[in-house]
């Protein structure tokens, strides 16, 4: 609804601009009407144009009213600036232009072929007749520009510069018309209509405007270039609604809090890792040509020569050691445990918690698995390219006693391989799995793709969504004929008991990709899958108590507004994906103190959905679009926010460190849609930037 409404506003603004441009040109040519009859006709036509412009302006206002009635204040507070830009010039059309045009029509009522006398020439060139048409064009141009550039929180300078330019242009137009009109009155003759001169004059104005505009344009472009080195621990801070914090002393300066802040380096936040590990893995990153099940080949970046990398499985409470070796990935690699809340030093983000592991180097991670559930791992160095090319794999933490022996446990990771198309792991066709009737089945659905919303449709049985993002749901009810939609990074665990007949998991609608589970290992994937409503966790399962809920007292509250904004990123003009109006590294970091209960309101004002991923913490979803989550507690680490949606989430700041908080559509993250959560007193010896090897996104 939000995106439809803002699109209507943009559409009518563009239409108004186009119409007003044409009408403005016609108005300024009024005095070149050769005869009284022509002037009479042209004046009539201009009145018709005023009607068109008014209808188009009404369309803009209707769009605004729609937007305001359908969405919350945050979606339109800055856009309240638009209506006056259109209402004022449209009123001028009817209050100043229209009566004068009617007067001209009456004065030329005989429609003779006489040339215009000085009185008529003067009347046809008055700024009060001509300028309002051009003001509508200026107003709609400014309004259109604002719809792509204004932000929440509102940036005064950004919003006011076009307004000032509009006023200057408006005054210049008025004076030009006034000057022309007075010359006509004085000389009694109309100016010679010299189209070439007019064209040259307009070109000159354009060149001057471009020259003046290019100064702020190029300085903005240059200023947006990513720095050579920057510490993520430095930079602008957002304290939300809580007390002002600082992460450390700067050159011995005293912080705002009375107590000096104790500085802690991310390197020391290792967790307890002493002793002999219970499980050890070695993952070697290397480039390799890998065959998919169909025989198609992929030029992949792999862990241990396979795509996806090997599944890592261990049990809760075990001390896990993973040795990462980089054989030949020039860009460098790391290992990030997506969704598993490990101590900060083990989080695997290049430039934040470690340096990228370069070819020939190795790095060892050690942590105790504290959660049970479905996760995944991937490189967090050049992650857009790394994940796309295959540097990821499944990560499953089983309960302390292991999974029940009889459960058929199937990991389903969808991925789009370059030149290979969509696949489940390396199966780019239909997979058959033999399962005896009565067997409990658990499907661990994970979507690893950028941009793609993957719809999983399970047919042939009723089922439960047992877990979201690795956390079990409380008393999940039976479901059937609902689509399980995941965007990048999110996971659903689906459980059912195998019936006597085949069960199919359909990933696309054409019957070409999916899994057929049947007692005899045979069966077909349905060619046509009916449309189904999308699974919504808001009211699913039953409530149970949690350490905090929507009624708790929050120590700190943040608002995270996701948007699109025309601007600069790394030396290029771009339609940026912004968080709170900014892109990396200008987005202020969220500052918290250990132990605080933190609430964040996530608002998506943009044109596309964003799966927001917070490292190191699980967020409890409190509400979705104003509706309280009243089913099972819904914990998430990767929250899919669609345009127009508002989520309230909360988490306990119980894992000190420097934690990325970014869109997991990794193309967006690479384009600057990334920020971080920062605990008071934390420092990092690592840096990111063009002169370093560390490029986490
Ligand atoms: Cu995004």
DSSP secondary structure of 13-63: HHHHHHHHHHHHHHHHTGGG--BHHHHHHHHHHHHHHHHHHHHHHHHHHHH
Tell me the H-state helices in 502-586.
none
Centroid of ligand 1 to alpha carbon of 545 (angstroms): 32
For 212-249, the pLDDT digits (tens) are 888 888 988 998 898 899 999 888 999 999 888 865 54
- Tell me, what's the pLDDT at 534? 95
Higher-confidence residue of 392 and 254: namely 392
Select, from the ranges 457-466, 570-579, 662-671, the one with the highest average predicted confidence (pLDDT).
457-466
Backbone torsion region of residue 348, taken as left when φ is above 0, otherwise alpha when ψ lies between -120 and 50, otherwise beta: left
512 domain-assigned = yes
Q: Hey, is 501 helix, strand or coil?
A: coil
Centroid of ligand 1 to alpha carbon of 559 (angstroms): 17
- Tell me, what's the pLDDT at 252? 40
658-663 and 674-679: which strand pairing? antiparallel
224 domain-assigned = no
pLDDT confidence band for 253 (50 / 70 / 90): very low
Centroid of ligand 1 to alpha carbon of 80 (angstroms): 26
Answer yes or no: do 278 and 306 share one domain. yes
Answer yes or no: do 527 and 587 share one domain. no
Centroid of ligand 1 to alpha carbon of 598 (angstroms): 22
Distance of alpha carbon 384 from alpha carbon 189, whole angstroms: 68
Partners of residue 413 on adjacent β-strands: 446
For 431-456, the pLDDT digits (tens) are 999 999 999 999 999 999 877 788 99
Answer yes or no: do 440 and 482 share one domain. yes
Cα–chain center distance at 33: 53
Task: Check whether the bond before 583 is cis (ω within 30° of 0).
Answer: no
Query: Exposure of 696 by Cβ count < 10 A (0-12 exposed, 13-18 middle, 19+ buried)?
Result: buried
Percent of the chain whose predicted confidence (pLDDT) is above 90: 78
* Domain termination site, one of 513, 535, 557: 535
Nearest to 52 by CA among 27, 79, 84: 27
92-101, 202-211, 572-581, 633-642: least confident range: 202-211
Answer yes or no: do 558 and 519 share one domain. no
- Tell me, what's the pLDDT at 250? 45
Nearest to 354 by CA among 393, 326, 396, 376: 326
* Domain termination site, one of 535, 556, 577: 535
Centroid of ligand 1 to alpha carbon of 71 (angstroms): 21
The DSSP code for 345 is G
Answer yes or no: do 464 and 555 share one domain. no
Centroid of ligand 1 to alpha carbon of 386 (angstroms): 17
430-434 and 514-518: which strand pairing? parallel
Kindly state the tokens that stand for 682: 């934390």
Centroid of ligand 1 to alpha carbon of 611 (angstroms): 6
113-122, 284-293, 360-369: least confident range: 113-122
Centroid of ligand 1 to alpha carbon of 681 (angstroms): 30
- Tell me, what's the pLDDT at 247? 59
For 70-115, the pLDDT digits (tens) are 999 999 998 999 999 999 999 999 999 999 999 999 999 888 888 8
- Tell me, what's the pLDDT at 251? 41
103-117, 311-325, 467-481: least confident range: 103-117
Centroid of ligand 1 to alpha carbon of 73 (angstroms): 22
Centroid of ligand 1 to alpha carbon of 577 (angstroms): 7
Kindly state the tokens that stand for 229: 């080195």
Tell me the H-state helices in 188-323.
195-223
Distance of alpha carbon 28 from alpha carbon 125, whole angstroms: 7
Whether residue 475 is predicted with pLDDT greater than 80 in this model: the reply is yes
Centroid of ligand 1 to alpha carbon of 140 (angstroms): 29
Whether residue 254 is predicted with pLDDT greater than 90 in this model: the reply is no
Centroid of ligand 1 to alpha carbon of 542 (angstroms): 31
Distance of alpha carbon 130 from alpha carbon 27, whole angstroms: 5
227 domain-assigned = no
Residue burial 264-291, b: 16+ Cβ < 10 Å; e: rest: bbbeebbeebeeebeeebebbbbbbebe
Centroid of ligand 1 to alpha carbon of 581 (angstroms): 14
Q: pLDDT averaged over the chain?
A: 92
Higher-confidence residue of 482 and 114: namely 482
Centroid of ligand 1 to alpha carbon of 638 (angstroms): 11
* Domain termination site, one of 489, 513, 535: 535
- Cα dist from 75 to 72, 80, 158, 563, 602, whole Å: 6, 10, 18, 10, 12
Answer yes or no: do 62 and 92 share one domain. yes
Centroid of ligand 1 to alpha carbon of 643 (angstroms): 11
Centroid of ligand 1 to alpha carbon of 663 (angstroms): 5
Distance of alpha carbon 78 from alpha carbon 605, whole angstroms: 12
CATH number reported for the structural domain that contains residue 577 in this entry: 2.60.40.420
Centroid of ligand 1 to alpha carbon of 583 (angstroms): 12
Distance of alpha carbon 139 from alpha carbon 159, whole angstroms: 14
Tell me the H-state helices in 356-476.
383-389
Centroid of ligand 1 to alpha carbon of 298 (angstroms): 26
Centroid of ligand 1 to alpha carbon of 190 (angstroms): 58
Centroid of ligand 1 to alpha carbon of 266 (angstroms): 27
692 domain-assigned = no
What residues have a C-beta under 5 A from ligand 1, the ion? 610, 663, 665, 668
Cβ partners under 8 Å of residue 297, min gap 6 = 289, 290, 291, 419, 420
Dihedral pair phi/psi, residue 299, rounded to 5°? -80, 95
Calculate mean pLDDT across residues 287-291: 95
Whether residue 481 is predicted with pLDDT greater than 80 in this model: the reply is yes
> What is the biggest distance separating any 2 CA atoms in the chain, rounded to whole angstroms?
106
Kindly state the tokens that stand for 81: 């600036």
Distance of alpha carbon 168 from alpha carbon 488, whole angstroms: 47
213 domain-assigned = no
Higher-confidence residue of 345 and 257: namely 345
Answer yes or no: do 41 and 184 share one domain. yes
Centroid of ligand 1 to alpha carbon of 647 (angstroms): 15
Whether residue 256 is predicted with pLDDT greater than 60 in this model: the reply is no
Whether residue 498 is predicted with pLDDT greater than 90 in this model: the reply is yes
- Tell me, what's the pLDDT at 220? 87
Residues in the chain: 697
Whether residue 23 is predicted with pLDDT greater than 90 in this model: the reply is yes
Distance of alpha carbon 663 from alpha carbon 535, whole angstroms: 22
217 domain-assigned = no
Answer yes or no: do 277 and 354 share one domain. yes
Global pTM reads 0.90
368 domain-assigned = yes
The answer to whether 393 and 308 are in contact (CB under 8 A) is yes
Centroid of ligand 1 to alpha carbon of 612 (angstroms): 7
Centroid of ligand 1 to alpha carbon of 580 (angstroms): 13
For 116-174, the pLDDT digits (tens) are 888 888 899 999 999 999 999 999 999 999 999 888 888 888 888 889 999 999 999 99
Calculate mean pLDDT across residues 342-359: 97
- Tell me, what's the pLDDT at 249? 46
Count of domains forming the chain: 4
Tell me the CA end-to-end span of the chain in Å, nearest whole number.
31
Higher-confidence residue of 205 and 578: namely 578
Nearest to 132 by CA among 17, 18, 27: 27
Answer yes or no: do 600 and 522 share one domain. no
Answer yes or no: do 42 and 175 share one domain. yes
- Tell me, what's the pLDDT at 258? 52
Whether residue 669 is predicted with pLDDT greater than 80 in this model: the reply is yes
Q: Which domain holds residue 561?
A: 237-262+545-683
For 183-200, the pLDDT digits (tens) are 888 887 777 777 788 889
pLDDT confidence band for 259 (50 / 70 / 90): low
Centroid of ligand 1 to alpha carbon of 606 (angstroms): 9
SS (H, E, C) 569-598: ECCEEEEEEEECCECCCCCCEEEECCCCEE
- Tell me, what's the pLDDT at 404? 92
Cβ partners under 8 Å of residue 3, min gap 6 = 607, 643, 644
- Tell me, what's the pLDDT at 559? 96
For 270-281, the pLDDT digits (tens) are 998 899 999 999
Distance of alpha carbon 439 from alpha carbon 497, whole angstroms: 6
Centroid of ligand 1 to alpha carbon of 360 (angstroms): 33
62 domain-assigned = yes
Centroid of ligand 1 to alpha carbon of 676 (angstroms): 15
Cα–chain center distance at 137: 31
Distance of alpha carbon 129 from alpha carbon 146, whole angstroms: 27
- Tell me, what's the pLDDT at 189? 75
The C-alpha angle 619, 452, 644, rounded to 5 degrees, equals: 55
Centroid of ligand 1 to alpha carbon of 515 (angstroms): 29
pLDDT confidence band for 257 (50 / 70 / 90): low
Distance of alpha carbon 39 from alpha carbon 129, whole angstroms: 13
Answer yes or no: do 247 and 316 share one domain. no
Answer yes or no: do 343 and 386 share one domain. yes
């Amino acid at each position: 609804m939000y995106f439809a409404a803002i699109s209507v506003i943009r559409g009518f603004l563009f239409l108004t601009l186009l119409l007003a441009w044409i009408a403005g040109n016609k108005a300024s040519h009024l005095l070149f009407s050769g005869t009284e009859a022509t002037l009479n006709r042209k004046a009539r036509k201009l009145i018709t144009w005023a009607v068109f412009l008014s209808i188009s302006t009404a369309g803009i206002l209707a769009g605004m009213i729609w937007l305001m009635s359908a969405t919350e204040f945050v979606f339109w507070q800055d856009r309240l600036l638009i209506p006056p830009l259109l209402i004022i010039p449209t009123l001028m059309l009817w209050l100043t232009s229209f009566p004068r045009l009617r007067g001209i029509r009456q004065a030329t009522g005989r429609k003779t072929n006489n040339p215009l006398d000085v009185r008529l020439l003067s009347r046809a060139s008055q700024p009060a007749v001509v300028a309002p048409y051009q003001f509508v064009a200026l107003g709609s141009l400014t309004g259109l520009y604002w719809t792509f550039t204004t932000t929440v929180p509102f940036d005064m300078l950004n919003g006011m510069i076009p307004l000032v330019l509009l006023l200057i242009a408006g005054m210049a137009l008025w004076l030009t018309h006034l000057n022309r009109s007075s010359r006509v009155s004085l000389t009694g003759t109309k100016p010679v209509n010299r189209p070439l001169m007019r064209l040259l004059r307009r070109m000159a104005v354009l060149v001057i405007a471009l020259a003046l505009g290019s100064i702020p344009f190029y300085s903005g472009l240059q200023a947006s270039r990513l720095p050579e080195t920057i510490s993520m621990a430095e930079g602008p801070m957002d304290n939300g609604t809580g007390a002002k914090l600082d992460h450390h002393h700067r050159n011995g300066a005293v912080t705002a809090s009375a107590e000096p802040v104790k500085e802690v380096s991310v390197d020391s936040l290792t967790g307890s890792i002493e002793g002999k590990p219970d499980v050890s893995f070695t993952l070697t990153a290397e480039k390799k040509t890998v065959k998919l099940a169909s025989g198609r080949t992929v030029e992949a970046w792999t862990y241990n020569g396979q795509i996806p990398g090997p599944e890592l499985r261990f049990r809760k409470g075990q001390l896990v050691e993973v040795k990462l070796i980089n054989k030949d990935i020039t860009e460098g690699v790391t290992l990030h445990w997506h969704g598993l809340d490990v101590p900060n030093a083990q989080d695997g983000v290049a430039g934040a918690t470690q340096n990228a592991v370069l070819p020939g180097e190795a790095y060892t991670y050690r942590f105790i698995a504290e959660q049970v559930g479905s996760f995944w791992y991937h490189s967090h160095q050049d992650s857009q390219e790394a994940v796309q090319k295959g540097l990821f794999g499944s990560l499953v933490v089983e309960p302390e006693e292991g999974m029940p022996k009889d459960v058929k446990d199937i990991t389903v990771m969808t991925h789009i391989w370059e030149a290979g198309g969509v696949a489940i792991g390396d199966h780019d066709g239909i997979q058959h799995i033999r399962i005896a009737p009565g067997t409990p089945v658990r499907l661990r659905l994970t979507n690893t793709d950028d941009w793609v919303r993957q719809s999983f449709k399970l047919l042939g049985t009723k089922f439960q969504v047992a877990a979201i993002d690795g956390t079990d749901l409380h008393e999940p009810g039976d479901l059937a004929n609902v689509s399980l939609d995941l965007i990048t990074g999110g996971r659903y665990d689906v459980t059912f008991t195998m019936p006597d007949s085949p069960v199919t998991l359909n990933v696309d609608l054409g019957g070409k990709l999916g899994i057929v589970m049947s007692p005899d290992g045979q069966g077909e994937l349905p060619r046509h899958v009916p449309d189904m409503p999308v699974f919504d966790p808001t009211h699913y399962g039953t409530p149970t108590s949690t350490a905090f809920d929507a009624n708790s007292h929050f120590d700190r509250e943040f608002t995270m507004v996701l948007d699109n904004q025309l601007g600069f990123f790394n030396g290029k003009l771009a339609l940026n994906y912004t968080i709170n109006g900014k892109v990396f590294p200008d987005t202020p970091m969220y500052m918290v103190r250990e132990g605080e209960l933190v609430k964040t309101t996530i608002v998506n004002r943009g044109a596309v959905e964003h799966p927001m991923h917070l490292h190191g913490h699980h967020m409890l979803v409190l509400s979705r679009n104003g509706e309280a989550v009243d089913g099972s507690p819904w914990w998430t680490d990767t929250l899919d926010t669609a345009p127009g949606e508002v989520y309230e989430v909360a988490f306990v700041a119980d894992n000190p460190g420097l934690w990325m908080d970014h869109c997991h559509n990794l193309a967006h993250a690479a384009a600057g849609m990334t920020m971080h959560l920062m605990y008071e007193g934390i420092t990092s010896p690592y840096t990111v930037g063009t002169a370093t090897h560390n490029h986490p996104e």
